[in-house]
Amino acid sequence: MQKVEVQLGERSYSIIIADSFAGLDAGIAASKQVVIISNPTVAALYLPQVQALFPDTAVQHFLLPDGEAFKTLSSFEQVLGFLLEQRMSRELLLVALGGGVIGDLTGFVAACYQRGVDFLQIPTTLLSQVDSSVGGKTAVNHPLGKNMIGAFKQPVQVLINTTVLASLPAREFAAGMAEVIKYALISDAGFFRWLQQHQAQIQQQDAVILAEMIGHCCRMKADIVSRDETEQGERALLNLGHTFGHAIEAWLGYGEWLHGEAVAAGMVMAAKLAASRGWLTAADVAKIRDLLVAFGLPVAAPDSMHISDFIPYMKTDKKVKQGTMRFVLPTAFCQTAVVDDVTEAELTEVFSHGYN
């Protein structure tokens, strides 16, 4: 078992990484009211095990349809309606049992229901284990932009059971690897080399290697969040590839591409933009592409999507300040910075001939 601490003063919490649903804090387990939010696929596999974490509580559950298409204000309202019908109080603990969609939506409900109740993250996808379950970003999507409606709400704990990854479809596992590779590209060349060296073991889901990889990502994110909880500076670097990726998701329709797939293509686009400025070499871009391809990820936007299709979404991105688009770009191999001088003309010049 690994324990990673997110240091946020009175709102500090632990991330437990184990090969079971172990490590729940005794105080959390003694919650008076518990509602588990999940989807039918995950609930069929793990709901009884999670209910058993609360032996002295009558645990209820609410299931939402599976997929990014249901990360909406409508789903948010459905969960709130259920809580109100059940007359849940402020003593409620919400449990997010699922991937990033369930975690983000449950956290947003927790931030709003009776002006805030506790919630526990139990992420069941690789992407949510290494990224979205940690740090307190919660949100739902809107047709005009991804994650544009939400709140910062930290969980009371994160329980990561690495054995649940064995039930993930290969495409979902690959999508999680995009976020893993993102951590390396942000600031950790040594981790990039480690991923290259352990590629086969990761793909075979070697238990020891997976735990080491997940722990490394969680420690990186915990450190960044502890220094910059509400993304006033350094935390924005965690959005590498996301400005392009969110545009792909919104343009295609949420759920057509998985979030990690869009981020993978977005990171290559960010790398190419950086290369056009002389910050990366062609060999650097190739290394990034090769590692993403090795894990079965796309490395280009859809052919049918023109760079002009990206611009409207980029202009509503959360990093925009005073109408200026801002991008997270590599400034060297495995180094990044937020850049605010990218113009539409530059984007058109770099990507006018496609993305490959």
DSSP code string of 215-283: HHHHHHHHHHHHH-TT-SSGGGGGGTTHHHHHHHHHHH-TTSS-HHHHHHHHHHHHHHHHHHTTSS-HH
Confidence tier at 356 by pLDDT (50, 70, 90): low
Which amino acid does the sequence have at 288?
I
State the average pLDDT over residues 328-356: 90
State the pTM of this model.
0.93
Tokens of 1: 């078992």
Which amino acid does the sequence have at 310?
F
Cβ atoms within 10 Å, residue 22:
12
- Residue 255 main-chain phi, psi, to 5 deg: 105, -15
82 - beta bridge partners? none
The answer to whether residue 355 scores a pLDDT higher than 70 is no
> What CA–CA distance (Å, rounded) separates 136 from 230?
9
Which residue bears the tokens 């990820």?
A: 297
> What are the residue boundaries of the structural domains of the chain, listed by start?
2-164, 170-351
Classify domain 170-351 at the CATH topology level.
Answer: Dehydroquinate synthase-like, alpha domain (1.20.1090)
pLDDT of residue 331: 97
Question: How does pLDDT run across 214-261, given as a tens digit for each residue?
Answer: 999 999 999 999 999 988 899 999 999 999 999 999 999 888 999 999
Alpha-carbon torsion, ordered 21, 154, 3, 53, to 10 deg:
-20
Which amino acid does the sequence have at 312?
P
The answer to whether residue 198 scores a pLDDT higher than 80 is yes
State the average pLDDT over residues 273-297: 96
Whose CA is closest to 57, among 27, 79, 98?
A: 27
Contact by Cβ (8 Å): 93, 33: yes
> What CA–CA distance (Å, rounded) separates 339 from 28?
42
- Residue 58 main-chain phi, psi, to 5 deg: -80, 100
Lowest mean pLDDT among 52-66, 81-95, 103-117, 318-332: 318-332
pLDDT of residue 255: 86
pLDDT of residue 231: 87
Class of residue 87 by CB neighbours under 10 A (exposed 0-12, middle 13-18, buried 19+): exposed
Confidence tier at 29 by pLDDT (50, 70, 90): very high
pLDDT of residue 173: 97
CA angle (262, 268, 273) in 5-degree steps: 120
Which amino acid does the sequence have at 78?
Q
The answer to whether residue 134 scores a pLDDT higher than 90 is yes
Confidence tier at 323 by pLDDT (50, 70, 90): confident
The answer to whether residue 354 scores a pLDDT higher than 80 is no
Cβ atoms within 10 Å, residue 304:
8
State the average pLDDT over residues 131-150: 91
Which residue bears the tokens 């409508």?
A: 74
Query: First vs last Cα of the chain: how many Å apart?
Result: 42
Confidence tier at 353 by pLDDT (50, 70, 90): confident
CATH 3.40.50.300 holds for 2-164:
no
> What CA–CA distance (Å, rounded) separates 277 from 264?
20
Which positions are annotated as active-site residues?
115, 137, 179, 221, 231, 235, 239, 242, 246, 259
On average, the pLDDT of the chain sits at 94
322 - beta bridge partners? none
- Residue 117 main-chain phi, psi, to 5 deg: -130, 165
3-class state of residue 67 by DSSP = coil
Lowest mean pLDDT among 18-32, 174-188, 297-311, 313-327: 313-327
The answer to whether residue 75 scores a pLDDT higher than 70 is yes
pLDDT of residue 5: 96
> What CA–CA distance (Å, rounded) separates 94 from 122?
11
